[in-house]
Structure 1
Amino acid sequence: MKSKTIFGLLAFLLVIFISLLFIPDDKPLKIISSPKIYSILRSSELEAFKIEFLVNKNDTYHFNKEYISSVSLNSELDEEIISLTINDISFGNGTYTYANEEYYLVEFKLKIGFNTDDYLIDFNKTYLSIEYNNSEELKLFIGEFNYVFNDDINNEISVSNLSSTVFEIDGINTVSGIYIELNNISNENLIINRFSLGSNTIEFNNYFLSEIYVEPDLFTEVKEILLVDEYNYKSSSNIIEQTILLRENQSITLYVPLNYIGDIDYIHRFYFEIEYENNLGKNSLIIDDFPYISTSNFQENLEDEYIIYEIPN
């Protein structure tokens, strides 16, 4: 009799356990965006860029491209819409914990949906719009987006050294300035005027664009490099031009610090343009974007800037 009771209890518990397995997960989908500055030079028709989010579900159709009908980048009020194509959607290894909940990193690998050889996309406030086959739509704020198409080949200046210095704002390491060695490979003297960074809210301080003779260490402070008492990262001097001579068949090493004049106080990857004069007039060299600092966009010091979307079932 006792064994029958135990068997019956085990059978009852087994039925409950199996039933629980088939109860649908009714928790809402949560998507976390960490806004950043995207500053990208398109150097190849095959080039893609990535946009990452944290999500609390990795088994939903929202991240299966077979269920997605279209993807685009939209300006703040949808005045401009840039169509995109999806190369891939993938989940990273491991998980992140935020507010005592487990999240997965999902990466959208995307391409601009058209080709051109001279075009600039510059959205101060940008949304990734995802439309699904069931007519559902998500609009996720991703930050500032700058993307330039440029296939020009420069035969006057080459770069033989490029590095950055970094500093910390509110616990986040970001670029404080760049050091670059330029080589004049033309048969005439050139005049370096200014550096322009691929962003609307972070800029080079061309007032301090200057020739230096020793490459600075990664964490050398800007004021030590420039030999000034203090350096104000929040000032603006974007309209200033210099006249730095780069002689024929000679090289020069330059340093220029950054100014942060917008809401996002960090940048890890960007393209920039060097504007100069030759005998015929104005010309420029665009330097491809590469990671000056390799770091995650999802870290504790950025949590105050997270935007959390909750999508009901």
Structure 2
Amino acid sequence: MNRYLIGIRNNALYILLIALVTTLTVLLLVREEKELIIISRDYQYSIYHSDNYESIDIEVLTNMPSSYHFNQDYIIDTKFYNNEEELSISIKDITISSNEIMYQDEPFYQIVFAFKLPFVSNDLLIEMEDVNLEIVYENMEKVSISIGELNYLFKEVVPTSITLSNLSATHEEVNGYNTIGGINLELVNNSSYNIMITDFKLLSKSVYINKERVSTNKTCEYQSTTSSCLGIDYYDFYSDYNDTILNILLGKNNSTEFYLPLLYNNDSKFIYEFVIVIEYEINNQIEVMVIDDFPYMRTSIFNTFNEDDFNVYKFSNTD
């Protein structure tokens, strides 16, 4: 009888041991399963549709660049949307960088989604704030991330009386972020008429050209501060924007150098690529010149950052 009881006890202990090992193995596997993390950052996308190859490039970071979430073959639908409207887009390309960006002691990798609009126009301005990007996969999973502000301009521009002979920018730190302080440009009047420049506009709802401080002084070096370019002791990048009408003379068959300081609203941290629209009057006619979305700084939106600016999204790994 004792032997029988001892046998039962040993078998029970053996079964318990197997159950314990199985449980620990499952827990270990679950613990080792890595979460997919996608990080976005709100930015001011400012784009001019100069040709049909134009794309809207959205940068994100991820800890799992090999996930199907970044494989174009698995994506069936994409769109931009906010609380007021949505905009269908098509995916053109996905670029995966091998360069590491450390976040909370873990390596992350830059992913660039290139999107294009499914239509064209001769004269259309798309302005969307608080924009989200939604991606739908073939397993019907949806990923939605915040991307910021979208400004996209369709404008058929005829040859104008003004040409651009110089374009650069000054860089400086604003509230801890390396960004654009102002823009240098030189405009040439190729006509035999005087031209009156009435407006400089930056294609953005949150970063502006400070028209009250537009200067026609000599071009500033890129390392110069905005205050030194303007010849003042202090320049406030967050002062109120005043949409005034300009009256700057550009003499016939002549050129003028301009310095255009920027203003930021409280939600904007930095900008490095944008469109400039110039309006002017010549011979009693209004004309428009568009300066393309030129990258004034060769950088990523994640090169200078505060982790408080990150939108962090976590997903179960189903690969």
Q: TM-score range by the shorter chain?
A: 0.7 to 0.9
| Whole-angstrom distance in 1 between the partners of 2:134 and 2:300 | 23
CA RMSD of aligned residues (A): 1.9
Aligned to 1:35: 42
Contact 2:201 2:208 in 1 (8 A): yes
Note the C-alpha offset of 1:31. 0.5
Where does structure 1 lack aligned partners over 5 or more consecutive residues? 1-18
Distance 2:65 2:286 in 1: 51
Q: Deviations over 1:215-245 (max 9, x none)?
A: 2111212222222232111112331122111
Q: Which of 73, 90, 93 is matched with 2:98 structurally?
A: 93
- How far apart, in 1, do the equivalents of 2:154 and 2:304 lie? 34
Superposed displacement of residue 296, structure 1 = 2.1
What is the letter of the counterpart of residue 62 of structure 1? Answer: H
2:172, 2:181 within 8 Å by CA — same for their partners in 1?
yes
Give the structure 2 partner of residue 119 of structure 1. 124
Quick check: 2:160–2:289 contact (8 Å CA) kept in 1? no
Q: How far apart, in 1, do the equivalents of 2:48 and 2:215 lie?
A: 25
Amino acid paired to 1:98: Y
8 Å contact kept, 2:219–2:258: no
Q: d(CA) in 2 for partners of 1:288 and 1:311?
A: 37
- The answer on 1:232 being equivalent to 2:243 is no
Q: Aligned equivalents of 2:305 and 2:55: distance in 1?
A: 28
Task: Look up the match of 2:6.
Answer: none
Q: Name the amino acid aligned to 2:253.
A: N
| Letter paired with 2:269 | D
Residue 60 (structure 2) aligns with = 53
Establish whether residue 278 from structure 1 lines up as the match of residue 282 from structure 2: yes
C-alpha separation in 1, matches of 2:212 and 2:175 = 26
**3-state SS, counterpart of residue 304 of structure 1:** helix
Following superposition, the deviation at residue 300 of structure 1 comes to 5.7
Distance in 1 between residues matched to 2:188 and 2:240, nearest whole Å: 29
Deviations 1:112-150 (A, max 9, x none): 121112111111211111112222111110111111111
Superposition deviation, residue 281 in structure 1: 3.4
SS in 2 for 1:92: strand
Displacement, 1:193?
1.6
Q: Distance in 1 between matches of 2:102 and 2:39?
A: 12
Letter in 1 for 2:55: A
- For 2:4, the equivalent position in structure 1 comes to none
Per-residue CA deviation, residues 243-263 of structure 1 (Å, 9 max, x unaligned), is 111111111111121111140
Q: Is the 8 A contact 1:170 1:301 kept in 2?
A: no
Give the secondary structure class of the aligned counterpart of 1:72: strand
C-alpha contact (below 8 Å) 2:226/2:261 kept by paired residues: yes
Q: Deviations over 1:6-54 (max 9, x none)?
A: xxxxxxxxxxxxx99xx68632211011221111111001122311111
Aligned partners of 1:300 and 1:87: how far apart in 2? Answer: 27
Pick from 289, 307, 311 the counterpart of residue 311 of structure 2: 307
1:82–1:113 CA contact under 8 A, matched in 2: no
1:174 aligns with 2:179: yes
Pairwise CA distance, 1:299 = 3.4
SS of 2:98's partner is coil
Separation of aligned partners in 2, 1:312 and 1:306: 19
Q: What TM-score results when the alignment is normalised by the length of structure 2?
A: 0.86
State the number of aligned residues: 290
* Distance of aligned partners of 1:286 and 1:262 in 2 relative to their CA distance in 1, 3 Å threshold: farther
Alignment counterpart, residue 222 of structure 1, candidates 223, 226, 237:
226
- Aligned-residue offset at 1:163: 1.0
Structure 2 distance, partners of 1:256, 1:89, is: 35
Which has the larger Rg?
Answer: 2
Give 1:227's aligned amino acid.
Answer: G
Percent identity (aligned): 36
Unaligned runs of 5+ in 2: 1-24
* Alpha-carbon distance in 2 for matches of 1:203, 1:128: 25
User: What residue in structure 2 maps to residue 290 of structure 1?
Assistant: 294
Superposition map of 1:87-166 within 5 A: 87-166=92-171
Equivalent runs, 1:179-218 vs 2, <5 Å: 179-212=184-217, 214-218=218-222
- Structure 1 contact 203–238 (Cα < 8 Å) conserved: no
Q: Confirm or deny: 8 A CA contact 1:209 1:242 kept in the other structure.
A: no
C-alpha distance in structure 2 between counterparts of 1:235 and 1:128, whole Å: 31
Return the alpha-carbon distance in structure 1 between the equivalents of residues 68 and 258 of structure 2: 50
CA spacing shift, 1:220–1:300, aligned 2, 3 Å: closer
